[in-house]
């Protein structure tokens, strides 16, 4: 029967030997003498009651039981890594730091104004922003590399929670060349024949379905991967783009024409965070700012 207590040091040594392909390499990685490494492994083998390594020529190789044990060890160390990351996140917030990871439609439209606002409201807080794809946003939040993630999709994960959401209808952006500035709204039928700047993402599939439902074949000869690029091309008179409300507001601020699309096509932005994250005042202020920006965008479209 196995006797004694398995210590964290034993597990650390065993893991190093497996991960680095041998006792010598494991000892070097841990910065300890090889004899010390061997003694710890011998003590561990006595406790578990079966061999962990067998000689194979001039080297030793882990046994099948060692590989099975390693799977459990990795689960344990993943838990330790999670604790370390959580501690780092708490330390970061205590030191006055806020990290955001956002999708391009938000990052290229509203984030510059948000960072300017936070720098005035919280001059001692360091703010970092990463612009990433939807998949990378939730990965960064799950890995605690971002306090808040801003995305246009709900993530199905028990570890994440939605802390805020901002909804509005998509808008048509362009110049007076294609969109009458006095017009309050436009329909898919009225866009027939007008050059459209398409997007190459899931949002475009929703647009295609809307046009198809109204019997309209979009006149799209240009496709881009980001809404801010579509807005830029529209400002250059190359056609009309249908974008999210925040990109539409940014387009209006730059002198472009923004017209509501009717019937409306909803676009929702979700703010996500780890369920155990404590949002500080800078984070809450960031969410409030984004909510207000979204309301302003909707108001300008409604007011025409």
Question: What letters, b where the CB count within 10 A reaches 16 and e where it falls short, cover 128-157?
Answer: ebebbebebbbbbbbebbbbbbbbbeebee
d(CA 270, CA 84): 27
pLDDT, the chain, mean: 88
Confidence of residue 304 (pLDDT cuts 50, 70, 90): very low
Please indicate, yes or no, if residue 304 is contained in any of the structural domains.
no
Co-location of 57 and 104 in the same domain: no
Q: Are residues 128 and 163 in the same domain?
A: yes
Look at residue 116 in the predicted model and tell me its pLDDT. 96
Mean pLDDT across 44-65: 87
Residue 131 clears pLDDT 90, i.e. is over it: yes
- Residue 175: both structure tokens together: 């110049």
Assess if residue 104 is contained within a domain. yes
Among 89, 118, 148, the domain boundary falls at 89
176, 257: one domain: yes
DSSP string across 14-31: HHHHHHTTSHHHHHHHHT
User: 34-48, 154-168, 176-190, 240-254: which has the highest mean pLDDT?
Assistant: 240-254
Higher pLDDT, 103 or 277: 103
Please say whether the beta carbons of 192 and 216 come within 8 A: yes
Asked if residue 48 belongs to a domain, the reply is: yes
In a domain, 3, yes or no: no
Q: What CATH number corresponds to the domain at position 63? A: 1.10.10.10
| Residues 88-112: tens digit of each pLDDT | 655 655 557 899 999 999 999 999 9
**Span 174-184, pLDDT tens digits:** 999 999 888 88
pLDDT number for residue 165: 94
Does the pLDDT of residue 1 top 80, yes or no?
A: no
The CA distance from 150 to 246, in Å, is 13
Rounded distance between C-alpha atoms, residue 281 and residue 284, angstroms: 5
Mean pLDDT, residues 115-119? 95
CATH, residue 238: 3.40.190.10
Tell me: do 144 and 176 sit in the same domain: no
Top-confidence residue, 70 or 165 = 165
Clarify whether residues 288 and 212 are in a common domain.
no
In a domain, 227, yes or no: yes
Q: Are residues 206 and 231 in the same domain?
A: yes
Whether 182 and 261 map to the same domain: the answer is yes
Examine the pLDDT at 134 and tell me if it is beyond 60: yes
Quick one: 75 and 29 in the same domain?
yes
Look at residue 210 in the predicted model and tell me its pLDDT: 93
Q: Residue 292's domain spans which residues?
A: 95-168+268-299
Q: What would the two tokens of residue 163 be?
A: 């802390």
For 228-294, the DSSP string reads HHHHHHHHTTS-EEEE-HHHHHHHHHTT-EEEEESS--EEEEEEEEETT----HHHHHHHHHHHHHH
Sole residue written with tokens 């400002």: 235
In a domain, residue 1? The reply is: no
Looking at the domain assignment, is residue 289 inside a domain? yes
Alpha-helical runs (H) found in the chain: 8-19, 23-30, 34-48, 64-94, 104-107, 111-121, 134-142, 188-191, 202-213, 227-235, 245-253, 281-303
Among 56, 89, 122, the domain-final residue is 89
Within a domain: residue 125? yes
pLDDT given at position 82 = 64
The pairing of strands 195-199 and 240-243 is parallel
- Do 22 and 71 have their domain in common? yes
Helix/strand/coil for 208: helix
Q: What is the mean pLDDT of residues 60-65?
A: 88
pLDDT at residue 12 tops 60: yes
Give the residue carrying structure tokens 């392909």: 21
User: Model confidence over 205-264: pLDDT tens digits?
Assistant: 889 999 999 999 988 889 998 999 999 999 999 999 999 999 999 999 999 999 999 999
Phi, psi of 116 (to 5 degrees): -60, -45
Same domain, 28 and 84: yes
- Do 58 and 194 fall within a single domain? no
Q: Are residues 41 and 100 in the same domain?
A: no
With contact defined as beta carbons under 8 Å apart, do 190 and 172 qualify? no
Pairing of the two strands 195-199 and 126-131: unpaired
Q: Of 89, 122, 152, which closes a domain?
A: 89
The domain total for the chain is 3
């Amino acid at each position: 029967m196995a006797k004694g207590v398995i210590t964290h040091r034993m597990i650390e040594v065993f893991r190093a030997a497996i991960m680095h392909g041998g006792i010598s390499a494991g000892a070097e990685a841990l910065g300890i003498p090889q004899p010390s490494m061997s003694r710890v492994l011998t003590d561990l083998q006595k406790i578990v009651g079966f061999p962990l390594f067998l000689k194979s020529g001039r080297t030793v190789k882990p046994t099948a039981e060692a590989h099975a044990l390693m799977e459990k060890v990795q689960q344990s160390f993943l838990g330790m890594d999670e604790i370390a990351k959580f501690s780092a996140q708490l330390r970061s917030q205590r030191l006055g730091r806020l990290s955001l990871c956002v999708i391009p439609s938000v990052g290229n439209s509203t984030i510059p104004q948000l960072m300017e606002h936070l720098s005035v409201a919280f001059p001692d807080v360091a703010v970092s922003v990463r612009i990433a794809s939807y998949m990378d946003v939730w990965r960064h939040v799950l890995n605690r590399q971002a306090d808040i993630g801003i995305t246009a999709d709900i993530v199905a994960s028990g570890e994440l929670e939605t802390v805020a959401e901002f909804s509005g209808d998509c808008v048509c952006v362009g110049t007076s060349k294609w969109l009458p500035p006095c017009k309050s709204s436009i329909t898919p039928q009225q866009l027939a024949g007008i050059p459209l700047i398409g997007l190459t993402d899931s949002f475009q599939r929703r647009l295609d379905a809307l046009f198809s439902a109204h019997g309209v074949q979009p006149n799209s000869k240009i496709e881009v991967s980001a809404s801010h690029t579509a807005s830029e091309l529209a400002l250059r008179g190359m056609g009309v783009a249908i974008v999210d409300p925040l990109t539409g507001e940014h387009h209006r601020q730059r002198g472009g024409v923004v017209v509501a699309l009717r019937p409306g096509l909803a676009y929702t932005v979700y703010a996500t965070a780890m369920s155990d994250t404590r949002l500080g005042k800078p984070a809450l202020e960031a969410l409030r700012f984004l909510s207000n920006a979204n309301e302003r965008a909707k108001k300008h479209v409604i007011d025409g």
